[in-house]
Amino acid sequence: MSPGPAAALLAAAGAAALLADRLAAVAAIALVLLAVCLRAPSGHRSVYLFGALSAALGVLVLSPFLWSSPEGTVLWEGPTLPVLGPLDVTTAELHAAALSALRLAALGLAFAAYALLLDHDRLVAAAGLARRSALAVALATRLTPSLERDAVGLADAVRGRGVPLAGARGYATLLSPLVAGSLERAATLAEAMEARGFGRGRATRAPRPPWSRRDRLALPLAAALVLAGALWL
């Protein structure tokens, strides 16, 4: 499938997950997106899947304590804390937490599928007037594996000097050099792009294969998915 229609389908799946109210429907969307992500090579997908699923798990665990609902059955009654209020957990809070977690997982997985499986070059080429913005998004997407590689390199550089690196605090010290390294990389890339004529004006496009029947069908399907999410799911 061409990347444009595929991106539209992924965006529609994410939007449907946000609009849908039924737990089962959002879970189904998240599962389908997970299955799509599993088609990517295992070495590449792990960081994206970890990011999406761990964020969702965090929401599932924390939100019943941070959001209070008078509805439902009280499953656990905890102390009342300043600012946060009563720390009880009800079935309604659990339901809401699960829904939020699944929505977040679906969004994360839709992005993961976009990052892992789509041909970003063709998306950039198909972006028409917004080519620069599309290129910026594509380059930002590519930043994830670069950041992962740099993080490993930084950790190795420190451990390689015989300095132990453990715990969240130890790794947190690497955040600043990681950001600095990314900015440096971005500046070098910008220089290379300018040297290759980027921003000169009157750019052309290399011819791309035309859309197939499946590509053309994907657009109404994406619209239907959003509509279904808003009205029925």
Partner 1 sequence: MALARVEAVTYGYPGAPPALEDVSLELEAGEVVALLGASGSGKSTLLRVLSGLVPHFHGGRFAGRAVVAGLDTRRTRPADLAGTVASVFQDPEDQIVMTVVANEIAFGLENLGVAPGEIWSRVELALEAVDAIHLWGRRTAELSGGELQRVSLASALALEPRLLLLDEPTSQLDPDAAALFLDAVERLGTTVVLSEQRVGRALELATRVLFLEGGRLRLDAPRAEALAWLACERPAYTSACVGTTQAPFVPCNGAGGVGARVGTTQALLVRLADISFAFRPALPVLEGAGLEVRRGEVVVLSGPNGSGKTTLARIAAGLLEPEAGSVERGGTATYLAQDAGRYLVRETVLDEVALGVGGDRFRGRAALDRVGLAWAAARHPRDLSSGERERLALAAVAVSEPDLLILDEPTRGLDPPRKAELAAWLAAYAAAGHGVLVVTHDADFPADRRVVLGAAEASLAL
Q: Enumerate binding residues for partner 1 (CB under 8 A).
A: 42-43, 119-122, 124-125, 135, 138-139, 142, 145, 150, 153-154, 156-163, 173-174, 177, 180-181, 184-185, 188-200, 202-207
Instruction: Give the nearer residue to partner 1 in terms of CB position, either 60 or 135.
Output: 135
CB of 193 to partner 1, least distance (A): 6
What tokens does 82 get?
């300043």
CB of 42 to partner 1, least distance (A): 7
Instruction: Give the nearer residue to partner 1 in terms of CB position, either 68 or 141.
Output: 141
Interatomic CA distance for residues 199 and 22, integer angstroms: 47
Question: Measured in Å, how far apart are the chain's first and last C-alpha atoms?
Answer: 26
Looking at the DSSP assignment, which residues form a beta bridge with residue 76?
89
Interatomic CA distance for residues 111 and 98, integer angstroms: 20
Q: How many CB atoms lie within 10 A of CB 171?
A: 15
Interatomic CA distance for residues 166 and 141, integer angstroms: 28
Instruction: Give the nearer residue to partner 1 in terms of CB position, either 72 or 153.
Output: 153
CB of 112 to partner 1, least distance (A): 16
The distance from CA 205 to its chain's CA centroid, rounded to whole angstroms, is 29
CB of 126 to partner 1, least distance (A): 12
Instruction: Give the nearer residue to partner 1 in terms of CB position, either 80 or 173.
Output: 173
Instruction: Give the nearer residue to partner 1 in terms of CB position, either 87 or 158.
Output: 158
With residue 96 as reference, give the H or E element that holds it. helix 91-117
CB of 13 to partner 1, least distance (A): 22
Q: Which amino acid is at 186?
A: A
